[in-house]
Structures are given as structure tokens and as C-alpha cells.
Structure 1
């Protein structure tokens, strides 16, 4: 099946929750009429609301922590470091601290995952 052919009717829970999140987003904007808003941040938050609903089945209980962990993951994953050129030199990994920061970020996001024990096992391999 081609992915473009997928429809939300095939998964009504995502369709309903996506609609509710969209309505909440519009209502939030309408409440701030006449004041300055950070539309980029609001769209970023909307994206993570939809992602968490699709991935976990509902909104995260601690949305701010989830968003902070996701932002940190994106920030850490976006760079290219010397340790990528020499993966066998463990000293470089320690000096660059990227691996440690990524591990901390993954561990912060663990409470949001139903399969956190499987993820931990994969990370430790």
C-alpha cells in the first residue's frame, strides 16, 4: 500500500484526537487576540501534541518536559562532531560529551515511553 493512500478513517482515534488538538490550538490563538504571540512556539507545541498523541495514545502528562527533551534531542542530533569520524576512539566521545548528553536526553524522555525497558536494553547494547 502506498503511504499517500492512507487515510485517517483507518485510525479514528488519531483523527479525533488530531481534530481536538487543532481546535485547542485555534481557541488558544483566539484567546490571545490583541496581544503578541510566538506563533513559531505555538506551532512547535502543536506538532509535539500531535506526535505524542499518535505515539503514546494520549497527550503527555508532563508536556513541558517532553517538549524540552524533544528539543534537546533535535539540538544534539543536528550536529556533526569529530567523534563521528573516529567512532573507535572512546576518549573523543568522552571529551566531546555528545554521547553523554544524548544519553541524558533519552533517559529524560523515558517516562513518556511505554516501551522504556526495551529502549534501555537497546541503548545498552
Structure 2
């Protein structure tokens, strides 16, 4: 086995940055109230498990459920989050751990009681990173 080269290290750093950017894209989509933008961060057959255990299979279910929430009950809420760990299982599969928080409408800070531990699996498809699974 050959030792890692500086090129390999740069590639790993670029992939980690891309995976972390995917998480930020997810947060930004929520904060913009866009179900479509939120769902596009997922693979076509990606799975999202919500805080209450409800599972959404595929982008269409994710959009169909989230857009009405963004339009009414979650309108004006904002997500914040911090990726605490990225681990590559293969060159095309990464597991992320994050701590997420919700800033409720009319508030300026997140309520610590609403913090959540998140596990996300990102996969590279056709050169782009997408979420295969997200459990909140």
C-alpha cells in the first residue's frame, strides 16, 4: 500500500469541504423556506427521519411534507447547525455528525431544548454529494 500523498490529502480536504457545504446547503434551504431546495440536497431515493421518528422516502415526499410547514407553521424559523465530525467510509460515502438547533419565529437565539443530534450519510453521485440518509 502506498502512503498518502499531498494530492490525496488535498482531495480528502476538498471532499470534506464539499460534504460540509452540503450540510450548510440544507440549513440555507430551510432558512429560505424552500421545500424544493431542501429536498434537492438529498439523493433521489434519500431518506429523512424527523425528530418524531417519521420517515420520508425520496425527494418528492420530503418536498410534499416540508413545503406546507415552511409556508405556515415553520414560516420564519431558522436552523443553525455545526458539523462535529465527518468520517469517510469509502471515497464516495461519508458519515456526518452534527448538532442542530432551531431559532423559532420572532426569536433571536435557539432554544437549547430544541437542540438535536443529527446523523447524515452523504454519497457522491455523478460527482455531486447528496444525502442518502438524515436522522434528526
TM-score norm. by structure 1 comes to 0.27
Relative to its length, the structure with more strand (as a share) is 2
* Greater relative CO (CA pairs within 8 A, separation 6+): 2
Relative to its length, the structure with more helix (as a share) is 1
TM-score norm. by structure 2 comes to 0.26
